[in-house]
């Protein structure tokens, strides 16, 4: 009953096998190996667009390096106030950009509200040299609250940004989960909707450590590919044995593995949500755009679950297991490609029993 | 006949097996897994000293993060003019320190000459606030030219630094190779000789991607461990699935694997050097303190080798295969744990034949 | 009728005379001159506390350098969302701190609301290494909206900060104006209330270019004086001909000149406010804690004033002179030491006439 | 007998008068005043070329800001190993560029030797992404050792730089002194010879604090003027009461004042050198390209001078007044616009007497 995050899951067997295969004999370093050589063609095929593709081993570095190519030090990144780049990267965007600001925007389910972006764009740089300038828009797909932007929503926000001369970054740590939900083409959620640079995560969806920064042809970052390479090296993110990261990403994007893995995580989330919704006293707030949910139920349910060894976070984190039994607490539950039906069912049964016991 | 670098070698089977083993089921993220939990005790045992240990996936990030904890932005890092931190990291130390300088010192075989360090320490900050201040000493073990500092040499340089209030960093990308040559205890080359922070490389000696930053108890960086953690996260170098890096490092340091791998690389280098020295017209300049050598021989020998598929670098890199047959060119040959006797012997035979053909 | 800012005023004659006097003959550079030598004793006398004192020529650099000594790159500065450090310094705090964040707090009249600070302190670093850490509290005295924190208010906010291990910075660009209003001792508003570092402005209150960064003995920044000096030099803010800046600050703090100048500006603001309040249709929103006010009156009043050559800003700046005559627009009016009664009276008369004309 | 530096001199009366004149009444801030408005036309006239002109109050900030516009963080600035940007700015170029390197070149009299530049340009970025890239060339005119580059020398170095795609910066702290020596047009030493950005100093030549960064039309930095403005503000170097800096620079460049002041300093240096050369036992090493010299004479001469109150630096600074009487020590003597014939003659007489006493 492990629902704390999708980053606790093991590596998918297909990706592990690719690692082993990549280990045959010697290979040229720093991306001059065959697997890395094949990657751009693969990405181009999957996204229906030529692109420059660079791998790094963490989502934080992918985001920060991409933003640094899009936003100068004296500008600001527009992002949701709950975005990972703001809340969970210890200032990596500030470090890599050389001290840019992040302008925090509100919006439901951690999706940026269009009017909030419009206001911010209008407000920025109103006093010329005294203010930081317009930098980049950063969208998180799926969001930190498990919602997915539709292609139209991406296009609307990206369009506002572009009209103001602002390039668009997408933090796609859980891009595959959103894509699997929406059922559209990868292109529809990215370059066709105005995204210039996509950070495509694999780590949380079955890999060991592989995140691709994709700079689409025609986008604002494409001709900064060499700058990106220099920033990556300077940031210490250029692997000598690159083949082992490329092998992961290649396996991930081949034959739809990424969507199968994401689909499995999403399906487990659906199963879990359905089970929870059937229990009296459980509410699930946010829409389900990916592989996580934020149910709210009485404290004694949480106690029973944790006694039974369930692993997950109260959300927000300042809630406490100490307090009245009946008071509802909210939590975050995340499913991964490795989540099993048995885990889901045990969780539901445990909670159901705990809440029924009271009712009885 | 692949001698271009030790970073082209595959991952050692023992380490690959550890990766597979680490993949069993779920594990807590960001270093809260069992393998990471065991690492400090293992390092303490191997180095005979308690220490804080942090893993990152590249040598460049290990060096830059460690230096950032030792050298403020307004100070300078003393290093050899051929050091990796100066020549091959695209300014990563400058980036991570926030703009510190590197003061470049001369010395044979890329080992810092003590008088060069003394002069530099005396010269630094002679005009107070107008100058950058004394920052950190960075030693590379083994050096970029394949030499190893003896424990006494490390202690002498570190002693000069400490007398000036300057902490000591060791870039140990090829630490195991030097250690295997010197036959001393790991402690003798590090904290006992005055090293505060060691960047211990595994990547070039059999791992996929694993470098340990070791902050020894009693050293200048030990109480900056939390700062190190923040810098690592902020630099995007904190892995969520840390267990896969810890598994590599754990296997590497267990039961002497690191020394067996390094010993094999060194032995292959000895075999290669012996074979080359037996060929008339081949000179080998530098002492052999690790797993690499810099022989010099006529251009037609290089041509024959490259025609036969040998992979290695002319060193320095501005030499050319075009030119008179008899002109000697220098090159760098690096052996790894995966180098075979057959590769070595084929290289020697090819060169021997090419040079003999001329003599005939 | 020039009310756009106090930075348009000329240099006060006493300060100009001090500049001329400082110009007699040669003087040692970089602060080794007599005027600079006298400065710390003078500040100590005025503030009743030993302190390290450093001069720079702009308020932005004073703030940014002080904050850089108080807040590491991986931490956050708590400030009001309207603070100058956030809105009007083009990211200077981010630049000088090496990429710290600013956490924006709400509060009336641009004073930080205590509960907003409490929430922010509790929220910061809740997830350990993933978040930026607690850095520094920055108070603006007087605020951007012309309010003054009382000694108790400073002490309350500073006390909350200190309880959380957070040092306190005061942006005192208009410190003299607030002090003259409150009638308390300089110490009461600063170190006695928990302020560690004060940026004391003279530029807007009669100088040409002189801002003192005062690090109080016993405060969190006092033992970072040498670091401050290095940061100042590295930022290009160490004057060789320092005597000319010291002469300004010395004259400013001698015999209460700073309070006389501020008192004159405040008195002119009172006269202006009284005149405006007597006009039907004019509202003045904020309390008057310094030398500025934010009245609101019908658009035709603004048109008449601007036709008559009055200089001031509509506030916020996205209001327009185009539109219905009767619609009220808000503006900012700032008086300086050089504002005259005639200017004030002309402004009042012009507005009064314009609004009466309509009423007629 | 004050020869320690030209930064100890008072402000020239013409410039002081301009300050007083600028103080008449109110003026718009941040450069919207009339004096600033006239500056670009004046510079254009003096340099025979349209240019963007920005003022800052220190030479260090002028250099660092200009270099930041020319050299990205992952590149290197080519400069002489004795250059002010390397030796006397506490790492300001590293700070403002975001961590660029400085590549130190040798050359007589602190002028860069052409072959040293050629070697460095060839060496840089030889290994692609692993190295920092080619950034900017920085020439100091006059040099730290008092030599002046001729127009041909500037053009030769700048030509090599440009052929490698490298823009050219000139640190002109003592530009007027060199110009007065060479007797050529300002344009000949700058844009006509390939200089893109000139930092023109006035502070050491009669001003209080005024340095102009001049970005010549057609040069590599001209279209980065807006970036420069943002960097200046962000660095805290944008004055609100700009008129007082502009007034200095305007007076300086009007009616050849700058050349008259520099000519006077140079003439005093000539008089001093002539006097010294006539004394047996005194050697003057470097050519005189500006207003300073580096004579060498026996220690007892230095003792006598310092006893008589002469102020100057032994150069290099690690020499000591303690030691054998006859041992020659080298020193630096700098004349300024304010140096008097009496001072010069007293210095010569004192030294002549001291050395003759011994000979007797």
Confidence label for D100 from pLDDT (cuts 50, 70 and 90) = very high
d(CA D321, CA D358): 17
Spell out, as residue ranges, where chain C has pLDDT lower than 70: 286, 358-360
d(CA A67, CA A171): 10
Domains identified in chain B and CATH numbers: 12-256 (3.40.640.10), 258-359 (3.90.1150.10)
Q: Cβ contact (<8 Å) for B89 and D130?
A: yes
Which residue's structure tokens are 């190519």? Answer: A69
Q: Is the pLDDT of residue D269 over 80?
A: yes
Degrees, nearest 5: CA angle B311-B314-B317? 125
Strand partners, C139: C170
pLDDT at D317: 87
**pTM score of the predicted model:** 0.97
Which of B57, B95, B234 minimises the CB distance to A91?
Answer: B234
Query: Is B165's Cβ below 8 Å from some Cβ in C?
Result: no
For residue C163, the distance in angstroms to the closest alpha carbon of chain D comes to 31
Which chain D residue lies closest to C99 (C-alpha atoms)? Answer: D98
Considering only CB atoms, which chain D residues are within 8 Å of A227?
72
For this complex, say whether ipTM is above 0.85: yes
pLDDT at D318: 87
For residue B241, the distance in angstroms to the closest alpha carbon of chain A comes to 6
Q: Is the pLDDT of residue B260 over 90?
A: yes
For residue C350, the distance in angstroms to the closest alpha carbon of chain A comes to 28
Alpha helices in A126-242 (DSSP H): 151-163, 175-182, 186-189, 225-234
> Rounded to the nearest 10 degrees, how much is the dihedral formed by the CA atoms of B158, B162, B164, B170?
50
What backbone torsions phi and psi does residue B84 show, to the nearest 5 degrees?
-60, -40
Mutate to test the interface with D, among B92, B99, B130 (most CBs of D within 10 A): B99
**What Å distances lie between residue C71 and A54, A68, C237, CA to CA?**
34, 22, 20
Q: Which chains border A (3 or more CB–CB pairs < 8 Å)?
A: B, C, D
Alpha helices in chain B (DSSP H): 13-22, 34-47, 59-70, 84-87, 92-97, 114-123, 151-163, 175-182, 186-189, 225-234, 243-253, 257-277, 299-307, 341-359
Q: Is B34 helix (H, G, I), strand (E, B) or coil?
A: helix
Digit-coded pLDDT (tens) for B150-200: 999 999 999 999 999 999 999 999 999 999 999 999 999 999 999 999 999
**What Å distances lie between residue B36 and B33, B222, B240, B259, CA to CA?**
6, 18, 12, 21
Helix pair B341-359, B257-277: axis angle to 10 deg: 10
Considering only CB atoms, which chain C residues are within 8 Å of A317?
126-127
> Rounded to the nearest 10 degrees, how much is the dihedral formed by the CA atoms of B169, B171, B175, B179?
-40
Whether residue B210 contacts residue A239, with contact meaning beta carbons closer than 8 Å, is answered with no
pLDDT at A280: 95
What backbone torsions phi and psi does residue D200 show, to the nearest 5 degrees?
-100, 115
d(CA A142, CA A261): 15
As given in the structure block, the two tokens for residue B249 are: 């490092």
Whether residue B227 contacts residue B251, with contact meaning beta carbons closer than 8 Å, is answered with no
pLDDT at B317: 87
Which of A129, A230, A233 minimises the CB distance to D229?
Answer: A129
**What Å distances lie between residue B58 and A33, B250, C112, CA to CA?**
18, 16, 44
**What Å distances lie between residue B331 and B313, B321, D234, CA to CA?**
6, 11, 48
pLDDT at B359: 58
> Rounded to the nearest 10 degrees, how much is the dihedral formed by the CA atoms of B348, B353, B354, B359?
130
As given in the structure block, the two tokens for residue B272 are: 């290669």
> Rounded to the nearest 10 degrees, how much is the dihedral formed by the CA atoms of D151, D153, D156, D157?
-110
For residue D357, count other CB atoms closer than 10 A to its CB: 11
Digit-coded pLDDT (tens) for D225-250: 999 999 999 999 999 999 999 999 99
For residue A37, count other CB atoms closer than 10 A to its CB: 13
Burial of A271 (C-beta count, 10 Å sphere; 0-12/13-18/19+): middle
Q: Cβ contact (<8 Å) for B204 and A240?
A: yes
Confidence label for D287 from pLDDT (cuts 50, 70 and 90) = confident
As given in the structure block, the two tokens for residue B234 are: 């902020």
DSSP 8-class letter at A4 = S
Q: Is the pLDDT of residue D359 over 70?
A: no
Nearest in space to B238 (alpha carbons), one of A88, A54, A102, D316: A88
Q: Cβ contact (<8 Å) for C236 and D8?
A: no
Query: Is B20's Cβ below 8 Å from some Cβ in A?
Result: yes
d(CA B283, CA B296): 5
Beta C328-334 vs C295-298: how paired, if at all? antiparallel
Nearest in space to D43 (alpha carbons), one of D265, D170, D208, D217: D217
Burial of A24 (C-beta count, 10 Å sphere; 0-12/13-18/19+): exposed
Which chain A residue lies closest to B89 (C-alpha atoms)? Answer: A234
For residue C17, the distance in angstroms to the closest alpha carbon of chain A comes to 31
Polymer length of chain C: 360
Q: Cβ contact (<8 Å) for B230 and C129?
A: yes
pLDDT at D10: 97
pLDDT at C318: 87
DSSP 8-class letter at A322 = S
Which of A129, A231, A238 minimises the CB distance to D230?
Answer: A129
For residue D188, count other CB atoms closer than 10 A to its CB: 18
Query: Is C95's Cβ below 8 Å from some Cβ in B?
Result: no
Residue pLDDT tens, chain A, 360 long: 999 999 999 999 999 999 999 999 999 999 999 999 999 999 999 999 999 999 999 999 999 999 999 999 999 999 999 999 999 999 999 999 999 999 999 999 999 999 999 999 999 999 999 999 999 999 999 999 999 999 999 999 999 999 999 999 999 999 999 999 999 999 999 999 999 999 999 999 999 999 999 999 999 999 999 999 999 999 999 999 999 999 999 999 999 999 999 999 999 999 999 999 999 999 997 678 999 999 999 999 999 999 999 999 999 888 999 999 999 999 999 999 999 999 999 999 999 999 998 655
Q: CB-based contacts of A342: which residues, under 8 Å, 6+ apart?
A: none
Which chain C residue lies closest to A131 (C-alpha atoms)? Answer: C90
d(CA D300, CA D307): 10
Q: The sheet that has D168-172: what strands, in order across it?
A: D51-56, D211-216, D197-201, D168-172, D133-140, D75-80, D101-105
Mutate to test the interface with A, among C4, C64, C99, C316 (most CBs of A within 10 A): C99
Whether residue D64 contacts residue D95, with contact meaning beta carbons closer than 8 Å, is answered with yes
d(CA D130, CA D145): 35
What backbone torsions phi and psi does residue A53 show, to the nearest 5 degrees?
-130, 130
Whether residue B239 contacts residue B30, with contact meaning beta carbons closer than 8 Å, is answered with yes
């Amino acid at each position: 009953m492990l629902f704390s995050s999708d980053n606790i899951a093991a590596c998918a067997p297909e990706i592990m096998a690719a690692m082993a295969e990549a280990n045959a004999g010697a290979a040229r370093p720093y991306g001059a190996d065959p697997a890395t050589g094949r990657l751009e063609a693969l990405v181009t095929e999957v996204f229906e667009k030529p692109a420059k593709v660079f791998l790094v081993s963490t989502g934080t570095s992918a985001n920060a390096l991409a933003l640094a190519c899009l936003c100068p030090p004296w500008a600001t990144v527009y992002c949701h106030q709950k975005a990972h780049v703001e809340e969970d990267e210890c200032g990596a965007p500030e470090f890599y950009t050389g001290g840019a600001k992040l302008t925090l925007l509100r919006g439901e389910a951690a999706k940026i509200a269009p009017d909030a972006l419009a206001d911010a764009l209008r407000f920025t740089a109103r006093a010329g040299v005294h203010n930081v300038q317009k930098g980049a828009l950063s969208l998180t797909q799926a969001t930190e609250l498990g919602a997915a932007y539709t292609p139209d929503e991406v296009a609307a926000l990206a369009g506002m940004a572009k009209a103001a001369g602002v390039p668009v970054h997408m933090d796609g740590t859980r891009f595959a989960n959103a894509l699997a939900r929406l059922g559209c083409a990868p292109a529809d959620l990215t370059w066709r909707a105005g995204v210039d640079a996509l950070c495509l995560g694999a780590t949380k969806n079955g890999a060991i450590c592989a995140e691709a920064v994709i700079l689409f042809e025609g986008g604002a970052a494409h001709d900064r590919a060499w700058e990106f390479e220099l920033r990556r090296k300077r940031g210490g993110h250029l692997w000598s044995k690159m083949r082992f990261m490329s092998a992961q990403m290649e396996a991930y994007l081949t034959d739809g593995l990424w969507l199968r893995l994401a689909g499995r995580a999403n399906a487990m989330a659906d199963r879990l949500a359905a089970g929870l919704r059937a229990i009296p006293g459980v509410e699930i707030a946010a829409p389900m755009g990916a592989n996580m949910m934020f149910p709210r139920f009485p404290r004694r349910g949480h106690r029973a679950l944790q006694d039974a060894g369930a692993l997950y976070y109260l959300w927000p984190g300042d809630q406490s297991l100490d307090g009245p039994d009946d008071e509802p607490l909210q939590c975050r539950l995340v499913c991964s490609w490795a989540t099993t039906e048995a885990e889901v069912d045990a969780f539901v049964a445990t909670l159901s029993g705990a809440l029924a016991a009271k009712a009885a």
